[in-house]
């Protein structure tokens, strides 16, 4: 008989029931080849005595093994390792090369036994909200989010309507209440002309962009972006097999003259723009360039993908209306998000487009994400309907406006000899370029050690260029926190 007392160790202090521990260890011994097909296991009474366990525990473990197919019972004979299992012949691994690295026993948890392609352009750090001081990419202050109102809206979901309906499967396009209220909100604030059928709710704008690229782009298509642009868009474009051409971005936004030259030379399938506040530089696309961009889209038949990621925060007067508001020929796909307006954890984005495209996007969305989060979508729809979310927008706008002014004043008085910037008309970050002698990567590392989180800006550099700039987010920090952040940055830069 095998030394079961040594091979099997159970721990009664664990939350896993003892019979499952025993069953799992028996299956592992079978996988390793220690217990071979057809091997007769000890009787339940005998194994119980060997392991000092209750006989019923052994019976339960054997029953589990029978149910899982590892064991088989023979009437009047006992319990055996299932004979249908392939025999395992373990072989010791011999490494002849004494300099070779021994294979680790946990390799399957790190590397699969099959090949796959690792795509280099997807290697991009994931931005997260860091503890302590921060000058981030332009995140909202989650402390301002309307949590009490959202909690009430969530609770109302549980007493609303027919439980079988609203706790079952929902519309792939998103909760109807949110699509209705969002359509009204976009029409009132952005000059759009939509119905709920023109709106697809997504988990953030990045999902909307991904779906749109998958539907509209094919290998070999050409997409034009700004020379500096959002890496999330570029990655989604390249993943379709399309190629990316870039045009320069100046203080008035994308260079439309160069875009027209490209259109004259070759077919362009799509142009990706962030016209309200260009990412990352925050400049606004000038009115005449907006008009020409729409004219070129109609003339050459390309799609305009408009990402309006922070429309709700503009500090001068009424925000400039999006390109989609002036689109007369259905050339613009308008993508936006409420994550910047409320909090990143609330994954609510949207795509606005002609209904034929929305229907196709919904069909594609269904095979990767059957539906969104109906409870969250209902709650946000309620906040829009009651006006709570609009009140939050107004409060946040006043707060971020004051923080922008205070932060820009700090940069001017404390760091004007090292940092150059233009005070942004809106958004939640300042685009700052640093003195060429500053090593941005080293600066970010030193800042992190001093308790200040900020980007080194390398991700914003176009190929073969060094902008020596980065986005310094001000919205997520109080005025006192901004003062502390600038003080840390000043000390670091003076020492560089």
CA pair distance 61, 21, nearest whole angstrom: 8
Residues 309 and 427 in one domain: no
The angle formed by the CA atoms of residues 118, 206 and 373, to the nearest 5 degrees, is 110
Asked if residue 95 has pLDDT above 60, the reply is no
Domain closes at, from 348, 373, 388: 388
Would you state the pLDDT for residue 132? 85
DSSP letter string, 20-39: HHHHHHHHHHHHHTSS-TTP
Residues 171 and 307 in one domain: yes
In a domain, 61, yes or no: yes
The angle formed by the CA atoms of residues 35, 38 and 41, to the nearest 5 degrees, is 60
Residues 292 and 420 in one domain: no
Closest Cα partner for 240 from 222, 214, 260? 214
The enclosing domain of 278 has a CATH number of: 3.40.640.10
Helix (H) or strand (E) holding 303: strand 303-307
Residues 220 and 293 in one domain: yes
The enclosing domain of 405 has a CATH number of: 3.90.1150.10
Would you state the pLDDT for residue 100? 46
Would you state the pLDDT for residue 102? 47
Q: How many residues does the chain have?
A: 496
Helix (H) or strand (E) holding 351: strand 349-352
Residues 376 and 406 in one domain: no
- Answer yes or no: are the C-beta atoms of 66 and 73 closer than 8 Å: yes
- Residue holding tokens 């495209």? 357
Would you state the pLDDT for residue 162? 66
Residues 55 and 177 in one domain: no
Residues 319 and 207 in one domain: yes
Would you state the pLDDT for residue 495? 72
Pairing of strands 469-473, 429-434: antiparallel
- List, as own/partner pairs, every contact residues 239-247 make where C-beta atoms lie below 8 angstroms and the sequence separation is at least 24, other chains included: 239/119, 239/122, 239/213, 240/213, 240/214, 241/217, 242/213, 242/217, 242/218, 242/269, 242/270, 246/462
In a domain, 120, yes or no: no
Strand runs labelled E in 435-482? 452-454, 469-473
In a domain, 117, yes or no: no
* Phi, psi for residue 155 in degrees, rounded to 5: -60, -35
Residue 57, sorted as left (phi over 0), alpha (psi -120 to 50) or beta, turns out to be alpha
Residues 222 and 284 in one domain: yes
CA pair distance 293, 304, nearest whole angstrom: 8
Number of folded domains that form the chain: 3
Closest Cα partner for 57 from 25, 103, 34, 33? 25
Asked if residue 488 has pLDDT above 60, the reply is yes
Containing domain of residue 24, as a range? 4-81
CA pair distance 172, 344, nearest whole angstrom: 22
Mean pLDDT value across residues 445-471: 91
DSSP letter string, 214-253: HHH--TT-EEEEESS--HHHHHHHHHTT-EEEEE-EETTE
Q: What are the CA-CA distances from residue 381 to residues 160, 384, 411 (Å)?
A: 13, 5, 39
Of 100-104, 150-154, 195-199, 229-233, minimum mean pLDDT range: 100-104
Asked if residue 266 has pLDDT above 90, the reply is yes
Query: pLDDT above 70 covers what percent of the chain?
Result: 91
User: Per-residue pLDDT tens for 108-133?
Assistant: 677 787 788 787 777 777 666 666 89
Domain closes at, from 388, 415, 436: 388
In a domain, 33, yes or no: yes
Residues 229 and 374 in one domain: yes
Mean pLDDT value across residues 324-335: 95
CA pair distance 349, 167, nearest whole angstrom: 21
Helix (H) or strand (E) holding 270: strand 270-273
Q: Higher model confidence: residue 339 or residue 171? A: 171
Residues 276 and 200 in one domain: yes
CA pair distance 252, 249, nearest whole angstrom: 7
* Confidence tier at 142 by pLDDT (50, 70, 90): confident
């Amino acid at each position: 008989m095998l030394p079961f007392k040594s091979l099997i160790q159970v721990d009664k202090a664990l939350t896993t029931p003892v019979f499952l521990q025993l069953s799992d260890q028996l299956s592992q011994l079978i996988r390793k080849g220690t217990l071979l097909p057809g091997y007769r296991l000890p009787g339940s009474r005998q194994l119980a005595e060997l392991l000092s366990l209750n006989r019923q525990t052994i019976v339960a473990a054997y029953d589990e093994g029978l149910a899982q197919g590892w064991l088989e019972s023979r009437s009047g004979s006992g319990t055996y390792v299932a004979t249908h299992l392939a025999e395992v012949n373990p072989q010791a691994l011999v490494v002849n090369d004494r300099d070779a690295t021994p294979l680790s026993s946990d390799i399957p948890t790190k590397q699969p036994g099959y090949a796959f392609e690792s795509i280099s352009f997807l290697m991009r750090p994931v931005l997260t909200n860091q503890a302590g001081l921060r000058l981030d990419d332009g995140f909202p202050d989650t402390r301002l989010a309307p949590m009490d109102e959202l909690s009430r809206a969530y609770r109302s979901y549980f007493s609303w309507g027919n439980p079988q309906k609203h706790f079952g499967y929902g519309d792939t396009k998103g909760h109807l209440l949110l699509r209705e209220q969002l359509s009204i909100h976009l029409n009132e604030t952005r000059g759009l002309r939509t119905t709920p059928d023109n709106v697809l709710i997504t988990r953030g704008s990045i999902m909307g962009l991904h779906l749109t690229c998958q539907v509209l782009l094919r290998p070999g298509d050409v997409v034009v972006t700004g020379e500096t642009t959002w890496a999330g868009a570029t990655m989604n474009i390249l993943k379709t097999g399309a190629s990316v051409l870039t045009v320069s971005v100046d203080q008035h936004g994308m260079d439309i003259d160069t875009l027209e030259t490209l259109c004259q030379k070759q077919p362009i399938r799509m142009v990706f723009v962030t016209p309200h506040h260009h990412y990352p530089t925050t400049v606004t696309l000038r009115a005449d360039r907006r008009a020409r961009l729409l004219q070129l889209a109609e003339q050459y038949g390309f799609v305009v993908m408009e990402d309006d990621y922070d429309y709700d925060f503009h500090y001068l007067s009424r925000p400039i209306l999006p390109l989609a508001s002036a689109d007369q020929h259905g050339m613009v796909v308008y993508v936006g998000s409420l994550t910047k307006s409320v909090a990143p954890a609330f994954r609510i984005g949207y795509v606005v487009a002609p209904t034929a495209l929305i229907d196709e996007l919904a069909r594609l969305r269904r095979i990767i994400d059957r539906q969104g989060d109906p409870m969250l979508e209902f709650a946000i729809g309620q906040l829009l309907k009651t006006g709570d979310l609009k009140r939050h927008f107004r409060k946040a706008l006043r707060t971020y406006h004051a923080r922008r002014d205070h932060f820009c004043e700090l940069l001017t008085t404390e760091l004007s000899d090292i940092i150059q910037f233009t005070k942004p008309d809106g958004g939640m970050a300042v685009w700052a370029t640093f003195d060429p002698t500053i090593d941005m990567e080293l600066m970010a590392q030193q800042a992190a050690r001093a308790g200040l989180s900020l980007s080194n800006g390398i991700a914003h550099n176009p190929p073969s260029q060094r902008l020596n700039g980065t986005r310094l987010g001000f919205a997520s920090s109080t005025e006192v926190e901004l003062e502390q952040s600038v003080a840390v940055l000043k000390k670091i830069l003076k020492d560089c």
